[in-house]
Amino acid sequence: MKSLTVLSGKGGTGKTTLTANLAVLAQNLVVADCDVDAPNLHLLLEGEILAQDIYQGAKLAVKDEDLCIDCGICRELCNFRAINSDNQINPIKCEGCGLCVAKCPVNALKLELQDTGKLFHSIIQIGSMIHAKLKIGAENSGKLVSRVKEEAQKVAKKRNKELVLVDGSPGIGCPVIASLNGADAVLLVTEPTKSGLADLKRVLEVVDHFNILPLLVINKYDLNQDLALEMEAFCKENEISLVGKIPFADTIVKAMEQGELVVDYAPDSEVARAIREIWVQTKEKLSILL
């Protein structure tokens, strides 16, 4: 079983759209949507939720009013100003550091786990998908990403699947790092813009740090062919495999307007052929990994 994580370094490059189309082509897999802050892969790979669990990823300070003597020590110590003049705790501001709990002279405070999101197991047309949704403003999304990946790995092993396909979140933060854990290869989706190239170089530093095989896709490459050529030269210079280039086409938008993926909606289109070639090249790279 192999694990492939799809990243972009920035939002809006077409990462999730490509992931959904690759999932349909791959077939024998489990899909994991690790963009838990703004998940949308389930909109492209429609399915039925079989099970869901409450995720508790943060602790907040809770006060026992019967024990509290209103000494104000907690308020004075709190660096996050989470305790007001009435010695009441603001759950939005509380970071769960536990200092107030440790210093309370009458043990009126304690840390309690909070519900910060939900974890879903869905059945889609091509198999299983594990995805999650973090509550608005909730923290520790990296931990929830790890849970999503763990569940996806369990399902894949149980059902003898060949691949876990992970749709990561944009950027280079904790959720991205968590989505890289255990990955055999990373498929990086970029676009021919200055910001696209800059963010590509940035996310490559993270991938290289974890010694994971990078593969590159240039989406909408024909919008700026000079920059696309610059990206290709960058790949050759840094020994990064360019597994495909996708042309700009409104066919993808038209497919999504109909609730379909472009490889099904217009299988003979140039963009669909490009995506199929990307999967062929990616599968080949995965197959040669030890």
Q: What is the pLDDT of residues 146-166, one digit of tens each?
A: 999 999 999 999 999 999 999
Over range 240-253, report the average pLDDT: 94
* Per-residue model confidence (pLDDT) at position 121: 96
pLDDT-based confidence at 171, cuts 50/70/90?
Answer: confident
Model confidence at 237: pLDDT above 80? yes
Q: Is the pLDDT of residue 289 over 80?
A: no
Percentage of the chain beyond pLDDT 70 is 99
The per-residue pLDDT for 136 is 83
Tokens of 94: 């509380």
Give me the chain's average pLDDT, please.
93
The beta strands (E) that lie in the chain are given as 2-7, 29-33, 47-63, 109-124, 127-134, 163-167, 185-190, 213-219, 241-246
Give the CB-side neighbour count of residue 38, counting CA atoms within 13 A. Answer: 6
Q: What is the pLDDT of residue 140?
A: 67
What pLDDT is recorded for position 27? 85
